[in-house]
Amino acid sequence: MQIQSSGHLDFNADVRRATAPVWARLSDVIPEVEWPVHAPYIARINELKRERDAVILVHNYQTPEIFHGVADHSGDSLELARLGAEAEAGVILMCGVHFMAETAKILAPEKTVLIPDLDAGCSLAAAITGEDVRLLKQKYPGVPVVTYVNTSAEVKAESDICCTSANAVRIVESLGADRVIFLPDGYLGRYVASKTDVEMILWEGSCEVHERFTADEIRSYRNSHQGIQVIAHPECPPDVLAEADFVGSTSAMIRYVGERKPRRVVMVTECSMSDNVAVEHPDVDFVRPCNLCPHMKRITLPKILATLENLRPEVRVPAAIAERARLAVTRMLQI
């Protein structure tokens, strides 16, 4: 079967057959009227990625037609980079934001790393520069720098070790230091500080999605939806976390739903993640707060197809920066 190129994409019988298993999974979360628009792209992308020797990595915050339609691997940012490095494919197409593509390139320097939109950024990554880190190290000589993976390669290169929201407490305590510099998410830093005796020197960056949630909003969900379970990401403000039944990383939130099977749940994070998890758990009632990440939503099926067709935009990291950033990421992976 040959699906038509992006110059002329129709929802024809071949496309319908090729995408029928995907539609069976997504029919509860995507309106039927939208499927004839998405399906031709999904069919062509899945055909072309094999021709291009490409692996498509899709972050949890991507929309369902991307997450369930074209992903070879899905997950959080670090897991995607690790899976990309391990894949046999010579081309990595990152459906996420720019720092994620950089991290993939850092861990797989010999591979071609593509992103559908170079302007897909991140408020956390934009909150701090390598120069900022160098100034902090001058101000606090000898204090180790722990950097969240949601940062640029340049910032990682100035750091001693990286962390994720899942392992941040363990990473901080592994250093055996009385205090650390923790970058760049101030809310995540405060959450980590509440779980350890290590003194935390924080940078006041924040995620523009998670910072918008409020404690009043969470209380309103409880008042409106009897028996609801509230699970929140630690990038949220402290008063939001205080209202939650569970606080955890993206992967921990997904495990919570799978293991606890709450009758009704609200995931206090980017709202496409609720849509994607709901596909796997149709028996759970998801109340969906809709704080969208504008950067993640720059990634679309047409852009993914164009990227595969043209093998660009390509993400490159200068070798000197990549080498130093790789040390910080590798140190984390070894703990």
How do residues 25-70 score in pLDDT, each as one tens digit?
A: 999 889 999 999 999 999 999 999 999 999 999 999 999 999 999 9
The average pLDDT across 195-201 equals 97
Domain boundaries, position 160: 124-206
Cα 140–Cα 207–Cα 287 angle in degrees, nearest 5: 145
- The burial of 40, by beta-carbon neighbours within 10 Å (0-12 exposed, 13-18 middle, 19 or more buried), is given as buried
- The residue-averaged pLDDT of 265-275 equals 92
Given a cut of 50, is residue 2 above it in pLDDT? Answer: no
Q: Is residue 117 part of a domain?
A: yes
The reply to whether 28 falls in a domain is yes
Residue 316 is predicted with a pLDDT of 97
Residues 152 and 216 both lie in one domain: no
Do both 130 and 88 map to the same domain? no
Could you give the angle at the alpha carbon of 104 between the alpha carbons of 103 and 109, nearest 5°? 105
Tokens 């940062």: give the residue: 151
Q: How far is CA 119 from the centre of its chain?
A: 16
- In this predicted structure, the answer to whether residue 3 has a pLDDT above a threshold of 50 is no
Closest CA to 59 of 247, 304, 289, 229: 304
Q: Tell whether the model's pLDDT for residue 84 goes beyond 90.
A: no
Does the pLDDT value for residue 4 go beyond 70? no
Whole-number pLDDT of residue 145: 98
Residue 126's Cβ-count burial label (10 Å; 0-12, 13-18, 19+) is middle
Region 235-242: mean pLDDT is: 97
Query: Residues 49, 143: one domain?
Result: no
Residue 222: the pLDDT is 92
Q: What is the pLDDT of residues 96-112, one digit of tens each?
A: 999 999 999 999 999 99
Pairing type for strands 161-163 and 199-202 reads: unpaired
Contact 296, 61 (CB under 8 A): yes
Question: For residue 6, is it within any domain?
Answer: no
Residues facing 94 on adjacent strands: 57
Q: What is the mean pLDDT of residues 168-191?
A: 97
Per-residue buried b or exposed e for 203-239, using 16+ beta carbons within 10 Å of the residue's own CB: bebbbebbbebebeebeebeeeeeebbbbbbbbbbee
Residue 320, in any domain of the structure: no
8 has pLDDT over 80: no
CATH number of the CATH domain containing 152: 3.40.50.10800
How does residue 283 score in pLDDT terms, banded at 50, 70 and 90? very high
pLDDT at 201 over 60: yes
Look at 40-49, 77-86, 142-151 and tell me which has the smallest mean pLDDT: 77-86
State whether residue 18 is helix, strand or coil. helix
Predicted confidence (pLDDT) at residue 80 exceeds the cutoff of 90: no
Are 147 and 58 in the same domain? no
301 has a pLDDT exceeding 70:
yes
Domain stops at, among 182, 206, 230: 206
Within a domain: residue 317?
A: no
Q: Taking residues 196-212, what's their average pLDDT?
A: 96
- Total domains in the chain come to 3
Return the pLDDT at 7. Answer: 54
Count of CB atoms situated within 10 Å of the CB of 95: 31
